[in-house]
Chains A and B, each alone.
Chain A
């Protein structure tokens, strides 16, 4: 069956450290994968997109990798800050036609001062 999982429901790290979140999928062939941030009571906010033929993408303190052999994406936040505390969602889409995201369950990240 098809499944998309994120490494843990919750992750606590110390301020200044690098947070690494994992997204694994089974029986999907994503054309691209996106990462979103969601704060309580708000809609998700787009962070990064990575295509199937790309290995790595960076944006400021954020980095995402995509390994189609391992069927895994890693999302890194370097020099984490308490303001980075939120739920992070990965989402994949199997085609390039239209928008039909499958979202992971999310990882709730808490950055402790």
Chain B
């Protein structure tokens, strides 16, 4: 079956702009989580969505937001981009999230803010 698909793979934006990233989970998976990966901070949890509801949230400013649609596809949005938002953004899907369910990661979207 198809894996987790993230689009676009690469993105260059200017400071102050906003960006929307997309994640299509594995068919049948209802939990989608988003992570930011940078060389300095490593992989950091942004938020998790399950059945169109945000179930968990990390310690990121309100400029970072997301949503999940009825088909489990998810988008994350970053407004008023800053240089420090340059990172690899990864989404992970799992059947239900939590214990006993492994997370499957996409290849990520590489965002560069100039």
A residues sitting closer than 8 Å to B (CB atoms) are 31-32, 34, 36, 41-46, 49, 51, 89, 91, 93, 95-106
Contact = CB atoms under 8 A, between A and B. Distances in A.
Nearest to B44: A103
B66 interface: no
B75 interface: no
Contacts of B102: 34, 46, 49
A22 B100 CA distance: 22
B105 A45 contact: yes
A89 to B, nearest CB: 7
Q: Could you tell me the dominant secondary structure of chain B's interface residues?
A: strand
Contacts of B104: 46
A31 B99 contact: yes
B33 interface: yes
A106 B56 contact: no
Contacts of B48: 98-100
Contacts of B105: 36, 43-45
Contacts of A32: 99
Nearest to A4: B42
Interface in B81-114: 90, 92, 94, 97-108
A99 B98 CA distance: 5
B106 A97 contact: no
A1 B89 CA distance: 26
Contacts of B31: 98-99
A96 B94 CA distance: 13
Contact of B107 (A36, A42, A97, A101): A42
Contacts of A91: 43
